């Protein structure tokens, strides 16, 4: 008798379920991850020998913060691009059209002068008349 020999099956690993599991894990981690964006800017205020201490007891005010690199945040909400148009739009949104609110400009001591002038110009174009610049007292930060 002539029996045919049965060829042994090739051993193979099916990678499709492994790829499916890895893909599902990737989707799970992407969906469950929370991304936090820091909106607080680190500032080193300029010093001034004269000036008036102002109580911040006013409930409605707009605080515009400019970092040393020129990044701008309005009421602790960072602007995507520090340009004149985005600054004016953000100021209009935060003030809700009320340009009688006090606008406090807090800029780092190393902030480019152009960024501060741009902020003051945007406020002036929108009709804000109550502008304040924040400084620290002379001698208060002598640890530099």
The answer to whether the predicted template modeling score (pTM) of the entire model surpasses 0.85 is no
The per-residue pLDDT for 4 is 77
- Domain spans of the chain? 47-137
**Which residues in the chain come in under a pLDDT of 70?**
1, 36-59, 136-144
The per-residue pLDDT for 143 is 44
**Which strands, in side-by-side order, build the sheet including 72-74?**
77-78, 72-74, 62-66, 103-107, 131-133
The per-residue pLDDT for 142 is 47
Assign a CATH topology to domain 47-137. Answer: Nucleotidyltransferase; domain 5 (3.30.420)
Query: Do you know the residue count of the chain?
Result: 144
Angle at 136 between CA 130 and CA 137, to 5 degrees: 110
The per-residue pLDDT for 23 is 95
């Amino acid at each position: 008798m002539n029996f045919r020999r049965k060829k042994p099956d090739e051993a193979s690993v099916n990678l499709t379920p492994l790829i499916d599991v890895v893909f599902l894990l990737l989707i799970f981690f992407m969906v469950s991850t929370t991304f936090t964006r820091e909106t607080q800017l680190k500032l080193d205020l300029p010093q001034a020998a004269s000036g008036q201490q102002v109580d911040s007891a006013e409930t409605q005010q707009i605080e515009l913060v400019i970092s040393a690199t020129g990044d701008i945040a309005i009421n602790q909400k960072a602007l995507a691009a520090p340009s004149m148009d985005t600054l004016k739009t953000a100021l209009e949104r935060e003030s809700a059209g009320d340009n009688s609110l006090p606008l406090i400009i807090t800029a780092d001591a190393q902030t480019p002068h152009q960024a501060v002038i741009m902020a003051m110009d945007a406020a002036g174009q929108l009709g804000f008349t109550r502008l304040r610049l924040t400084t620290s007292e002379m001698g208060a930060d002598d640890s530099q």
